[in-house]
Amino acid sequence: MPALADLVRPGATVAVSDGVGLPASVLPELSRAAAEAGGVRLVLGWTLGTLDGLDVGAFDRVLTAMSGFALRAMVDAGRVGYVPVRMGALPALFRDVLRPDVLVASVVAGPDGHRFGSEVGWLPAAVAAGATVAAVERPNLPACDAGPPLPAGQVVVIGESDAPPLELPAPAVTDAHRAIGARVAELVPAGARLQFGPGTIGEAVCAALGRPVRVASGLLGDPVVDLARRGLLVGRPMAAYLAGTGVLYRWAAGQPILHPCDVTHFPDRARADGPFVAVNTALEVDLDGQVNVETAGGSTIGGIGGHPDFAFAAAGQPGGLSIIAVTTTARAGRPTLVERLEGPVTTPGHDVDVVVTEHGTADLRGLDRLERRRVIGRLWERG
């Protein structure tokens, strides 16, 4: 069986597949191969779990297209560079300036070849750009790639692992989240295409839904299984990633529901088959409705992800709705409404239709700047 050292050349760019199926078992070998070759650039994506065995010092440069999560400390320390890019633009980046020579990826073997398993996202773009796929066969990943098999001539199997996908426990939903979920659910019409982000807000919204919906999102979590069990999921969902517990992975196994993010995050595709409702949250919102989901307290909390992709898609569709749902306070009682954002503008205010807190709902459509500031401010007032 070939080794990574046979594939990683001096000065090469190496990308590692991300999400809950990240091939963590080969990170020590990859670090050794990079140190031996010299001048190797490493590109990471949505990194959730620990990176045991990864020696960032073995690489000439380490970049990530999705900050936060497991990479937060390394980004804050300057050991990993965060490339600010929305998810829908990632495939173009991986076909061009971040084009990898080698893609180290978890795959699932099938009768017609290898496919990706619990995540697709930007990976097909790297393959289309000509990357050699250093494949780790993972039979315990759910096989959910809706695309064709990987080109056999580009796949080199370097190992196998029986590790299951990483499990992300359900977040703790508070009364404030439930109040927000109920308000948002009232805004979602029957048959709408619904996008929701990970975490407490998405959990609360799906729990409160009483109307059937289609799901077209960046990722699928356990709430989609609950919708299916309650008879509220219309058709087959579509996403770029899975991220949840064994409940989700067992339900999703064998379903062709994962697509490249230049499909899932493309506005016209998101808007297909009914009105599109995007439900996202924020670390902070300013009085103009601008949203920051990237940094707080001087630390990198998360990446841009699909936040601006889906907000734009929903706000630009007749009958669509771009919703920002956020509790009025964050951890340690810090207000989430600010006069000026501490971090960058992830999503501009003009792509936000409605803001929802536990105190109420503010419909911003058709309002001028001054009116928007007034109605947003009232949402952070108890009454």
Query: DSSP string covering 228-295, please?
Result: HHTT-B-S--BBSEE-S-HHHHHHHTT---B-BHHHHT-HHHHTSSS-EEEEE--SEEETT--EE-SE
Number of domains observed in the structure of the chain: 2
* 98 located within any domain: yes
The span from the first CA to the last CA of the chain, in angstroms, equals: 67
Q: Write down the residue that tokens 């805004």 correspond to.
A: 187
Q: Which whole number is the average pLDDT over 49-57?
A: 93
pLDDT (tens digit per residue) in 206-246: 999 999 999 999 999 999 999 999 999 999 999 999 999 99
Boundary residue ending a domain (126, 160, 194) = 160
Is the torsion defined by CA of 293, 263, 64, 113 positive or negative? Answer: positive
What is residue 267's predicted lDDT score, i.e. its pLDDT?
Answer: 80
* 267 located within any domain: yes
Is residue 284 within 8 A of residue 296, CB to CB? The reply is: yes
Query: Are 282 and 329 part of one and the same domain?
Result: yes
* 165 located within any domain: no
What is residue 298's predicted lDDT score, i.e. its pLDDT?
Answer: 85
Q: Which whole number is the average pLDDT over 154-163?
A: 97
The C-alpha atoms of residue 34 and residue 291 are separated, in whole angstroms, by: 38
pLDDT (tens digit per residue) in 285-341: 999 999 999 998 888 889 999 999 999 999 989 899 999 999 999 877 899 999 999
Query: Are 38 and 108 part of one and the same domain?
Result: yes
Is residue 345 within 8 A of residue 308, CB to CB? The reply is: no
Q: Can you tell me whether residue 215 is helix, strand or coil?
A: strand
What is residue 197's predicted lDDT score, i.e. its pLDDT?
Answer: 85
* 305 located within any domain: yes
Query: Are 154 and 70 part of one and the same domain?
Result: yes
Query: Are 123 and 234 part of one and the same domain?
Result: no
Output the six-digit token pair for 345: 């503008």
Query: Are 179 and 128 part of one and the same domain?
Result: no
Query: Are 347 and 226 part of one and the same domain?
Result: yes
Boundary residue ending a domain (112, 134, 160) = 160
Supply the range of the domain harboring residue 112.
Answer: 4-160
* 97 located within any domain: yes
Query: Using 50, 70 and 90 to split pLDDT, how confident is the model at 26?
Result: very high
pTM value is: 0.96
Is residue 248 within 8 A of residue 223, CB to CB? The reply is: no
Q: Which whole number is the average pLDDT over 188-205?
A: 94
Query: Are 98 and 189 part of one and the same domain?
Result: no
Query: Using 50, 70 and 90 to split pLDDT, how confident is the model at 376?
Result: very high
Is residue 341 within 8 A of residue 311, CB to CB? The reply is: no
